[in-house]
Structure 1
Amino acid sequence: MSLDTILAEINLSLNTTPSFNDVRCLRSLIAFMRPQRSDDAQRATDNLRAFCYVLQQNPVWQKTLREYLVQVITSRKLVHLLTDTGITLNNGFWGAGAQRLFSKLLPPLVNDDYVRDIFGQIFDHPKDYVWVNAVTDEVWHDVIRAIGFRTQRVRYTHATLANEVLNAIQVLSYRITNIGLEAELVRNYPEIEKFESPFLRQNDGINEYIVRYREWLMDHHIKRDDAKHIEVLLEQCEDIASRIRRTAAVAGVSVSLTRLLLRLDQSIARLRTLLQLLDSRQPQTSIGIGTKLLKELVTADNKRHSLRELMKTNTELLSLQVTERAGKSGEHYVTNTRAEWLDMLYSALGAGFIVGFMAMIKILFGTLALAPFGFALLYSANYSFGFMLVHVLHFTIATKQPAMTAALIAKALDDSKQKLDELVELIVRVFRSQFIAIIGNIGLAMPTAFAIAWAWHGIYGEHLVSPEKAQYLLHELDPFGSLALPHAAIAGICLFLSGLISGYYDNKASYSNIPARLRQLKWLRKILGEQRLFQITEYIGNNLGALAGNFFFGIMLGSIGQFGKFFGLPIDIRHITFSSANFAFALAGMDNHMSWHLAVYTLFGIILIGMVNLTVSFSLAMLVALRSRRASFGNGGNLIRLLMKRFVSGTRDFFLPAKEQEKTAES
């Protein structure tokens, strides 16, 4: 439908029916402005300029369109659009998620009496917000001026619209007060009960402001008060929210607290926008505020059923806290001196020794006649308790490092004071620590497995792994003749998830005060005694995240392959340390009769498996860490060039600690 046809239809309908307010014509008008590609800002701009030109050439259409838009808005309730759209509702995170999922299957009923409902019908394309935001404010200002919203005729509707905005302001103020009284906020900021709360005072100020403004609407000779004193109270509310966030950086955070803070921020921002809109005395200022509000409302309405947006907005503080915890753990995986580097080597050797026995146990479990669930249960128990034992003994699994060190590097990237040279040195230390950990894991996992295999042969007179099983194990390590590399990528995803789980449970232990709550259990105190109970609960508080991460990581490694068999899917896991142990078992099972090119090819496959493990885990962890901080690789090109230059000038430093570094640390 052409623009002339749409405007002519509006003119005819309004002349025929003065109370005409059907949104069908408005939908057609937006459809004309909408470009074929949502990101085509130039086309959208051209369409809007054409719209302005047509109105300027036809004052009659301009007048009827203006009256039509006024009737569309004033004949419906505007409050809910201003108070609900773009503001997190008061239901929980899971309730909101279920509601959005259900809305995708069965859209909610549209009530024509509310502007909020018809707003979604007007901007009904899910990507409308892209072109609406892409169009410059100046173009939108021209559109508003072309319609003529500052003419004397439209000012007669000012009281009606102003009262709707005042009602919205009052609703938002009550919501802010309610949030300020929530037990979750009071718990995280007890001082709010000791002094006069700005959450309560802002509501008193808002109510007084509304009374004064409505008196001014009735009689313009009365002096109108501004909202400057309310702005001071809102800033105090925001200051308390900032303090709670800083407290959460130490004491942990929950999804419910994140949701409350998000709702508070959104409500204050919307309240501030509406107050500015009412207080604006210059047409240009009010048009600018209205344009900003329009873009905000279109964006929020388009994303109101988006599960991704719900996850992003409701868990941002929690994801930051989780990755922050992981980053603190990552500090333990970075070595600075030669002594620390050697400690990392010894720690990795210890883990490699345990993995050799874990690989043997898994092979023995594989000889049993069980259903996939039985295998999944046994394999998961082997992996989980083995990894937990590695942690308890203070050993290091190399592939666990990237999920932790990525958060550490993201933290450095987010620091505006961090120089690129310092960041390069951090990456060098991370790489060096990762390298020696891998060497340590493989360096003892293979000899341990090889020794176990021949010890088994010496005791029982037969190989732990038959020649057929040995061939199967070697095939699993074939980087190009099997799915070894995709399976290594799956293991990398599991490593990444285990890092998030570790951060989550570290946060959980801190926020929920788990050690202190355990010490309150009388029956546990009787069994362990006061001193031992304190020691155990302190250990749980400091290590719950690591233990939980290792436990769930083991479950993932042990069950994914059986899950694939049960559903007939080609999915499994390949882990570099276990792959190296399996290579040793296969070598012994073949009586050490293996051609050198097969051995080299298989070792090459193990190296590729390790690279995929580390790359996938590190990349995902880095992505989440950067998004949680709203940071990015702004200087990515310069960083890569500096890293290459550093590698050329000091290749040894990427693998071995520098002697100068050790002397500096000692001094």
Structure 2
Amino acid sequence: MMMDSILARIQATAPSRDTSLLQELIGAVRPQHANDLQQATNRLRALAHLLATRPDWAQALRDYLAEVIGQRKLVHLLTDTGVLQNQGFFGELWRRLNHKWLPPTVNDAYLKDVFGQVFNHQDDHEWVNGIEPAVWLDLLNALQLPPHGWLQGQVLGELLEAVQVLSYRISAIGLEPELVRIHPDIERFESPFLRQNAEVVQLTEAWRSRLVDAQAEVPDARHLDVLLSQCEEIIGRVRKTASVQGVSVSLTRLLLRLTQGIDRLRILLDLLEAPSLQEALPTALGLFRQLVEADNRKLSLVDLFQTNTELLALQVTEHAGRSGEHYVASSRAEWLSMMRSAAGAGFIVGFMATLKILMARLLLAPVGYAALYSLNYSLGFMLIHVLHFTVATKQPAMTAARIAAAIDEGQKKLDELAELVVKVLRSQFVAIVGNVALAMPTAFVIALAWQAAFGQHLTGAEKAQHLLHDIDPLHSLALPHAAIAGVCLFLSGLISGYYDNKAAYNDIAPRLRQLRWLRRLLGEQRLARVTDYIGRNLGALAGNFFFGIMLGTIGTLGFVLGLPIDIRHVTFSSANFAFALVGLDYQLTTEQWLLSLAGIVLIALTNLAVSFTLALMVALRSRRVSFVRGRALAGLVWQRFRLSPRSFFLPPREVEPG
């Protein structure tokens, strides 16, 4: 009944550019809930039925739409909506934030602005795209659009102008210095970005001649399609080169603008070349659905971050994935090497834990404690990396990216993925054992040596009880604090990948070798070795440095803000348990023994589970991979555990040749 009255009012009113009736009509079709596609489909079918049975209403609506569209500038809707503009990432971020609380002025002369008023619900794209295309085509057919000469007059002129605008933008982006630096062949050979523009100019001039002379010939657009394909090939090469030379947000934005511009140009050319209305309707419908979604999400901050950091996120996880290959032990020799490497890290952590206890004795402001703790953690973790040792909890952020890469490689067979998971779990187990197996004895020996040298315990009874309470999984916040440490581990993995990418993209090593004062200080050969090391390891060093800062400041931040936040790291927890054991003269109750040991195990599992889950989610998202066979993979891994639990902890026996 509402649609009847709206259509009757449209018929009774002279066609005008006022969009209020059109907004009412869309509101009558719009479902109560955007995800209720059945209701939206039924309403759209009802509208199509009304127009089919009442040709006078169809004629009135057709004239009304022609007036609404024909009296406004169409080109901006075709070239700007859904296509990134020439604005930096932070400028676009600031613009969207401003427009969220203070919307921009609506220019009634632009169809782009009016389009947003008609589809003014942010979830309109859900039902518009959810309705089957056949239902939309039935509605368009019910409107009885003229089959001949459907593309003419002002609409054709606006379409030609949009084609030219997009072509000029593609040419300009194709000559950007950042793009040329990554792919110098654009300058060495004739650029398809420039050639496509010459073809577009020729094509649009021929179409404008046809507006004057209907018999004028229009060149075939197939050659232009070949040039656009060559532009897309260059984009693909740039993406591949970026995996080696690094990438930035600005380069990602350039490639995204190019891709969006080429895609939109192809759609407009298809409309231009369509021989009849029936062949043009599917393309026009697809463009309409794109425009609705793009307009609904034009202020989305989530979309801005996802699209503009896509390549950067991929490269960050790619670098982590390549590092993750070194954290997966396949053979017995690699397993033993991992054990030795983890034991070395545990030895150093024992001294780091000692230094933290001594620092806690100083009388400092909270910021002073945070600075000293951060320095202790950062320098210690960086030393562990320089000595090629392994901290077990650093593995998940790397190995998760390795598993995501394996999933993305042509959807590997489940048994191969299951084997990779078993190797990862086995490597993780031996790394934890290596860390704890030496961190705890090292701390124990240090505590005994301190007692022998100074005649008192390194940790008094009160401090020892406090250390035991910190790892108690039942009577303290040990596990939530372990989860916070897991988040820090995950972030440190991202930071490592980011700086590895930065080192490659900004040519850090060659630029360091150009510093004259550094060459005079180190000499030519030593300079080459140092700069090569920095170029290869900048990400790992930066990740360890910032990880140390996070561990050192979070507890102080929680104290200053009055929040119960802190960190619990399994290796340091095991060392603290050894200090507490000596500090209490080994007088622990059975409950303290059980809770402390259980706390160390649960802290380890929480550290690993949180960091691994977050890293795997980001790695899969960066690759746009959704692994739907996760349950089947989990079942296969469980089956392997039941058949051979030993393989999850110990490497397979190696068979002698012959």
TM-score by length of 2: 0.98
Q: Are residue 375 (structure 1) and residue 369 (structure 2) matched?
A: yes
Q: Specify the code of the residue in structure 1 equivalent to 2:541.
A: L
Aligned-pair distance for 1:226? 3.1
Deviation of 1:373 (Å) = 1.4
1:135 to 131, 135, 140: 131
> Does the CA-based 8 Å contact 2:147-2:277 persist in structure 1?
no
Q: 5+ residue gaps in structure 2?
A: none
- Residue 218 of structure 1 deviates from its aligned partner by 2.6
CA distance in 1, matches of 2:137, 2:285: 7
Residue pair 2:203, 2:218 contacting (<8 A) in 1 also:
no
Could you tell me which residue of structure 2 aligns to residue 112 of structure 1?
Answer: 108
Selected match of 1:349 from 337, 343, 350:
343
Aligned to 1:610: 604
Structure 2 residue corresponding to 1:328, chosen from 322, 332, 357: 322
How far apart are the structure 2 equivalents of 1:470 and 1:29? Answer: 73
Deviation at 1:638, TM superposition (A): 2.1
Map 1:482-497 → 2, pairs under 5 A: 482-497=476-491
- Structure 2 residue matching 1:435: 3-state secondary structure: helix
Work out which of the residue numbers 72, 84, 91 in structure 2 matches 1:95.
Answer: 91
Partner of 1:250: 244
Work out whether 1:429 is the aligned partner of 2:417: no
Alignment equivalent of 2:62, drawn from 60, 66, 74: 66
* TM superposition shift of 1:96: 1.1
Match of 2:31, SS state, is coil
After superposition, residues 231-630 of structure 1 pair within 5 angstroms as 231-416=225-410, 418-630=412-624
Query: For 2:330 and 2:151, how far apart are their aligned partners in 1?
Result: 70
Q: Determine the C-alpha separation between the residues in 1 that align with 2:215 and 2:492.
A: 67
For 2:72, the equivalent position in structure 1 comes to: 76
Q: CA deviation at 1:223?
A: 3.1
Q: Secondary structure of 2:13's match?
A: helix
Q: Give the Cα separation in 2 of the matches to 1:6 and 1:374.
A: 71
The AA in structure 2 aligned to 1:248 is A
Q: Using the alignment, how far apart are the partners of 1:62 and 1:627 within structure 2?
A: 46
Structure 1 runs (4+) deviating above 6 angstroms are none
Deviation at 1:251, TM superposition (A): 1.3
Is the Cα–Cα contact under 8 Å of residues 84 and 256 in structure 2 kept in the other structure? yes
Aligned partners of 1:129 and 1:338: how far apart in 2?
Answer: 55
Letter in 2 for 1:210: T
Q: Which amino acid aligns with 2:433?
A: I
Kept in 1: contact 2:150–2:277 (CA 8 A)? no
How far apart are 1:457 and its partner, in Å? Answer: 1.7
How far apart are residue 258 of structure 1 and its match? 0.8
Q: CA deviation at 1:390?
A: 0.5
In 2: Cα distance, 1:128 partner to 1:485 partner: 43
- Give the 3-state SS of the residue equivalent to 2:208 in structure 1: helix
Residues 201-240 of structure 1 mapped to structure 2, 5 A cutoff: 201-240=195-234
Which stretch shifts more, 35-44 or 287-296? Answer: 35-44
**Distance change >3 Å, CA 207–CA 663, structure 1 → 2:** farther
* Cα distance change, pair 663–381 in 1 and its aligned pair in 2 (3 A): farther
The residue aligned with 2:155 is: 161
Change (3 A) 1:156 1:398: closer
Between 1:346-355 and 1:642-651, the stretch displaced more is 642-651
Q: CA deviation at 1:478?
A: 1.7
Q: Does 1:125 align with 2:154?
A: no
Shift of 1:27: 1.6
User: Following the alignment from structure 1 to structure 2, what is the Cα–Cα distance between the partners of residues 266 and 570?
Assistant: 47
How far apart are residue 405 of structure 1 and its match? 0.4
Q: Distance in 2 between matches of 1:643 and 1:584?
A: 35
CA distance in 2, matches of 1:97, 1:91: 10
State whether residues 390 and 431 of structure 2, in contact with CA within 8 Å, keep that contact through their aligned partners in structure 1.
yes
Q: Distance in 2 between matches of 1:414 and 1:169?
A: 36
Structure-1 residue corresponding to 2:194: 200
Alignment-derived partner of residue 42 in structure 2: 46
Letter in 2 for 1:86: G
Q: Which secondary structure state, in structure 2, belongs to the residue aligned with residue 659 of structure 1?
A: coil
* Aligned partner letter, 2:375: A
Q: Percent identity?
A: 58
CA contact (8 A) 2:147 2:276 kept: no
Deviation, structure 1 residue 57: 2.5
1:178 and 2:172 matched: yes
- TM-score between both structures, scaled by the size of structure 1: 0.96
- 3-state SS of paired residue (2:299): coil
Q: Distance in 2 between matches of 1:198 and 1:258?
A: 20
The yes-or-no answer on 1:13 pairing with 2:3 is no
Letter paired with 2:446: I
Amino acid at match of 1:448: T
| Paired letter, 1:640 | A
Q: Which residue of 2 aligns with 1:631?
A: 625
- Write the mapping of 1:620-659 to structure 2, written as runs, cut at 5 A: 620-659=614-653
C-alpha separation between the residues in 2 aligned to 1:507 and 1:633? Answer: 26
Query: Letter of the aligned partner of 1:468 in structure 2?
Result: E
Q: Which AA in structure 1 matches 2:36?
A: D
In 1, distance between residues paired with 2:136 and 2:545? 56
Shift of 1:302: 1.1
Matched to 2:77, the amino acid is L
**Which region of structure 1 is more displaced relative to structure 2, 133-142 or 464-473?**
464-473
Question: One-letter code of the match for 2:318?
Answer: E
The letter for the 1-side match of 2:2 is: S
Deviation at 1:319, TM superposition (A): 0.8
Amino acid at match of 2:186: I
Letter in 1 for 2:338: M
Partners in 2 of 1:133 and 1:372 — Cα distance?
A: 55
Deviation of 1:147 after TM superposition, in Å, equals: 2.0
Deviation at 1:663, TM superposition (A): 4.8
Q: CA deviation at 1:159?
A: 1.8
Aligned length: 658
Deviating more after overlay: 46-55 vs 512-521? 46-55
